[in-house]
Structure 1
């Protein structure tokens, strides 16, 4: 049984509205900006949504370059944050943000160091 299901793929970038607009042109869909451009969703018809998050100091990835970040993370939706956290830690994830435990999301790194969030549904 899976611990989580994929919620949304999030791309960090300097201008979320502009990048969402680019992908809307490429993929179709509807751009939804509800918080002033810091976080923008792209609802893709018949497919997985994409999200775009403002990242201060953004540096574009270099490809192929194994010594540079690819600048994205995964949001994984879960029904029980505590149970999912125990599960991902047992699989080798590392917590990245101790933060406020009352939040509806928590941040981890996978065993290779890629960040992802567990988000309550």
Structure 2
């Protein structure tokens, strides 16, 4: 067993509180505080995401590489609930940028700060 474990994944953004609210709403997690520079959301079993303010933030330009995505998050959704999940995250501020069109098992979205993420069918 390793002495090292994953702590938190942090996403750069212009407004940590707003982006934390988006992901907390999407996942049903809780915003656990923070300040103007760093905010975290906590989920079950100690899982967490963090959001840090970056001056002059430039969102990734997915799928182009002028401003590369550098990372993306995948979230699993039951196949029968994908449309319901999509409606919920779009209402929170996500933007659909690539539908699964029956050929893939995922849909690609941008969060309100422009980070790509996927809802993956399971």
CA displacement, residues 20-53 of structure 1 (integer Å, 9 cap, x when unaligned): 000011001110223x221000001246200000
In 1, the alpha carbon distance for the partners of 2:38 and 2:59 equals 18
Runs in 1 of length 4+ with deviation above 6 angstroms? Answer: none
TM-score, normalised to structure 1, is 0.51
Structure 1 unaligned spans of 5+? 73-121
Query: 2:64 is matched with which residue?
Result: 65
Counterpart residue number, 1:80: none
CA gap of 1:8–1:56, structure 2 versus 1, over 3 A, is same
**Aligned position for 1:92:** none
Q: Name the TM-score, length of structure 2 as normaliser.
A: 0.51
Q: Which has the higher helix share?
A: 2
* Equivalenced residues, count: 71
Change (3 A) 1:3 1:46: closer
Alignment RMSD: 2.1
In 2, are the aligned partners of 1:60 and 1:71 still within 8 Å (CA)?
no
2:19: which partner in 1? 19
Cα distance in 2, alignment partners of residues 40 and 51 from structure 1: 6
**Is the 2:62–2:68 contact (alpha carbons within 8 Å) kept by the matching residues of 1?**
no
2:50 aligns to what SS in structure 1?
strand
* Structure-to-structure mapping, 1:38-57, within 5 angstroms: 38-46=37-45, 48-57=47-56
Segments of structure 2 that go 5 or more residues without pairing to the other structure are: 72-122
Q: 1:1-121 maps to which residues of 2 (within 5 A)?
A: 2=2, 4-34=4-34, 36-46=35-45, 48-70=47-69
